[in-house]
Amino acid sequence: MKVKDLKWHVYYHNVNSQKIETYNVVGGKYFFEELKKMMKKHRDKKDFAEALKSEMMYHFWSRAEWEVVIEITEDNRIFLNPWVGCREPEKVRIDVTDNTDFDWRGFAELHTSKQIYKNKAKIDVFDQLMYRWDEFVDYCWSSEAYKPRKKKEE
């Protein structure tokens, strides 16, 4: 797999475009190089998963620029709303109820059940990754970002 082939999308609020957009957390040369280093250093999948978690926490955990609010409305729709830096949040929010790429219902219920408001919760990119963590680890582990080179036979 090459850098351009890796794809794992999450949602975040882009304050510059004033839109909630998808972001490819594994796309880009920096992540690919970090992935290669982790795979070279951590040959055991469990150790690799711990290193990957640490890397993802560093970049995406509890940082305002990666946070949105998930909301379950009275009519049982699921919306993602901007957390900070938005002039007109009602215009920016998106409905993810019918999105089949992610279990938004289960994710929303998990996070809103822990809140005093019961229908809204602040989430970040790291929360989205953790919800499907085992799948994410398997995806990165199987990416073949690092393959030891075979020695030339003489």
Domain count, the chain: 1
Q: Is residue 147 one of the residues assigned to a domain?
A: no
Q: Does 150 fall in a domain?
A: no
Question: Terminus-to-terminus CA distance in the chain, angstroms?
Answer: 28
| Tokens 């970090």 -> residue | 34
**Domain-embedded: residue 113:** yes
80 domain residue, yes or no: yes
What confidence score (pLDDT) does residue 61 get?
94
Are residues 97 and 104 in contact, defined by beta-carbon separation less than 8 angstroms?
Answer: yes
Is 0.75 surpassed by the pTM of this model? yes
The answer to whether position 110 is within a domain reads: yes
Chain segment 50-101, per-residue pLDDT in tens: 999 999 999 999 999 999 999 999 999 999 999 987 888 889 999 999 999 9
Residue 148 lies in a domain: no
Quick check: is 106 in a domain? yes
Domain that holds residue 131: 3-141
**Residue 11 counted as domain residue:** yes
Name the band, by pLDDT with cuts 50, 70 and 90, for residue 149. Answer: very low
